[in-house]
Structure 1
Amino acid sequence: MNISDELSKLYKASAEYSAVESKSECLEDTRVEIQKSILDHLEKREPRFVWLRGSPGTGKTAISMRVASTLDKQGRLAASFFWDKNRKGAGLASVEHFPSTLARQLALFNAEYEGLLVSRLRQPSSL
């Protein structure tokens, strides 16, 4: 069994920033400071967790999508997952498919991780 066969065992929701049609990025030249702040923080060699919070409708998703797009263009986006409660049945309305979707994306991004993941998937008790 080849690597792509092994990875196909993992459910993949179309949750990448580029696949989410119901959301959009920030308009050009808007929210520049917060985007710069996030991208600068992600450059550091310390834990790079970002928690973007705010009231509904304040642009958190738009900012996140723009940051993901920027990182992707730089070849630095390992994975992304955008929930969409309005697309029930697509794997975007719950956390159920979050781990497997991220695992597949990370495997495509990093060959070393891909090897470790496939090795684990080949173990009889892994699924």
Structure 2
Amino acid sequence: MSEGGQVGIVLVSHSGPLAQAVAELAVGLAAGGATAPVAAAGGTSAGGLGTSTELIADAARSVDRGAGVALLVDLGSAVLTVKSMLADGDELPQGARLVDAPFVEGAVAALVTASAGGDLSAVEAAAADAYAYRKV
């Protein structure tokens, strides 16, 4: 297990319901015991489509257990939002990292790995490996 607790996972989507559904799916598929902390940060604070730095920061703080926070995003402008927040340096917990991974498969892989005690690098690698999952 990572020192300082488990890696937290934040799922950033332009849609609140989508982020929440992917979080629920990941938890359901990783079931069989306690899972690492995961939070959805989708849509705007008014409930519309888009991204909210406030919702992302709140979600990251809610899952931070001292071992890092992996942020997975759905689309390009969410990437830009998270990159901007990381560059600012004071909106996200120390050890927060943008993870380049497919949103759904990466979320499941990240949560399973974090729940098993993987450190932030292992969580990132597992999520990124999801790009190789073949469906045909």
Q: Does TM-score exceed 0.5, indicating one fold?
A: no
Q: Normalising by the residue count of structure 1, what TM-score does the alignment of the two structures yield?
A: 0.26
Q: Normalising by the residue count of structure 2, what TM-score does the alignment of the two structures yield?
A: 0.25
Bigger relative contact order (CA 8 A; separation at least 6): 1
